[in-house]
Structure 1
């Protein structure tokens, strides 16, 4: 049995020998003209665990005489694009600096073997910033599939937009892409990268719940405050607290704590502590207190003055009062300071204390013998 090779060589098979098969497999002309083998199994890039960990770079264009540098984040699928007039390493480095100033330095960059990415200047830039640079296999676009997919999105999107310059159309396209949920991650790139929702004109069609609630609360407050009275109750003020149990209607006490703007903790005179709303608290005026300004009327309350008794010296018959005589005033343990402050003192007062401007109750004058 014989077999002819593809380039015309006649080969003879011998019994029990594999010489024919070995020769055919090692035939150089046959191997060099063989059909393309089947595609290798897909080996996807590992999904980074954090945003801005690995970036894929590529160029799109020329479009209207310009090139577009496209930067894609592997974690969030965020796309940055910059219009350039060339593809030199200096231009690429300048656009990357602008991008890194906003989002920070990545850990890895993936690109093809273009001269702008494989130059010594670009290698120095990545090494100086601590960025690992990986190259994909030449002429195999699937190895940098994320960047190639981003190039396709930019090209098709710019063709659909008719109005505006290239920069204007690119900005509009990027904004719409970034707020649209991505098919792979199921979330918008802006939400994954910035952790927030970017507001767009579509949000005008949605009801603003917070604004509606605020307006409703404001209307309720305006209606309620028409019949209300603002009072200022501070810690330490004596008050009466409403009693909701058996006994007196109001219980005297003092404010010891303000847990809320309208809530107070009151220590009663028997030592108990209760919590009441401002609507259940009234101010308590004490006779032994110093002048206290009322929070409602703004008036001052003076404490009662001590009683003053004016007596004549012993042994006198209390003659008639003389207009030119100097009176002798006997007090019950007060001085001039006690007349104005209400604090008693053990010694008597001087003649100056009689002429003070503080009103006195039923003072009788007797002549001095």
Structure 2
């Protein structure tokens, strides 16, 4: 049954809100999984008039190109400590094709707390060959060095507080924080939504979760 304009607008708005306020192309991708007849023009009309997107609309940032990406999934993982909502988090992002992200809460910004979270991730997903991180003292400690040696992980340090030093990680921070702010959701939900968004804005197979896993994640 054909939908009238009001019903289409309601559908697009609901999907746009639920999926964390993505842009036009990604909203269209998610809407078409519900109703393939919806057009880009209809999605564009809703997204460009979204109050949440207009109120939280960070200026575009250009990232200097580098060679920090790799061709294999979970071979190099970017890592640092960031803060959101007054809490410390340990973001991990695959520098390989998937760009899959994990964020773990930190009780304290110490080597011991970071090791506790990393060990849980390594037991669940395996250890990468390399961790790409900044020069935070927590990553320079003897106990952290001992931990990475035990797992056979090499540490590659980059310049601290310089977004262009690791655009992969910084873009991930930015995307997830914007999703959380626009949707008013937890970081955990924002990371979940980030991992479901296709990198090419149209193909399910390019979503980080679907590039990491061998199955299509249900929404």
TM-score interval, normalised by the smaller of the two chains: 0.5 to 0.7
1:180 aligns with 2:197: yes
SS at match of 2:155: strand
Flag structure 1 segments of 5+ consecutive residues without an equivalent: 1-41, 164-168, 201-369
> Which has the larger Rg?
1
**Which structure: greater strand fraction?**
1
CA shift, 1:91, in A, is 0.7
TM-score by length of 2: 0.64
Which of structures 1 and 2 has the larger relative contact order (alpha carbons within 8 angstroms, sep 6+)? 2
CA contact (8 A) 1:59 1:151 kept: no
Superposed counterparts of 1:232-271, under 5 Å: none
Q: State the distance in 1 between where 2:119 and 2:202 align.
A: 27
Partner of 1:152: 174
The change in CA–CA distance for 1:184 and 1:49 in structure 2 (over 3 A counts) is: farther
Q: Runs of at least 4 residues of structure 1 off by over 6 A?
A: none
Partner of 1:237: none
CA shift, 1:195, in A, is 1.8
The change in CA–CA distance for 1:47 and 1:162 in structure 2 (over 3 A counts) is: closer
Which residue, 147, 152, 155 being the options, matches 1:133? 155
SS at match of 1:152: helix
CA contact (8 A) 2:136 2:160 kept: no
Paired residues, what number? 153
Superposed counterparts of 1:168-247, under 5 Å: 169-183=186-200, 187-200=206-219
Superposed counterparts of 1:311-326, under 5 Å: none
Q: State the distance in 1 between where 2:112 and 2:184 align.
A: 31
Flag structure 2 segments of 5+ consecutive residues without an equivalent: 1-63
SS at match of 1:196: coil
**Which structure: greater helix fraction?**
2
Partner of 1:67: 88
CA shift, 1:90, in A, is 0.6
Q: State the distance in 1 between where 2:150 and 2:202 align.
A: 33
C-alpha distance after superposition, 1:298-352 (max 9, x if no partner): xxxxxxxxxxxxxxxxxxxxxxxxxxxxxxxxxxxxxxxxxxxxxxxxxxxxxxx
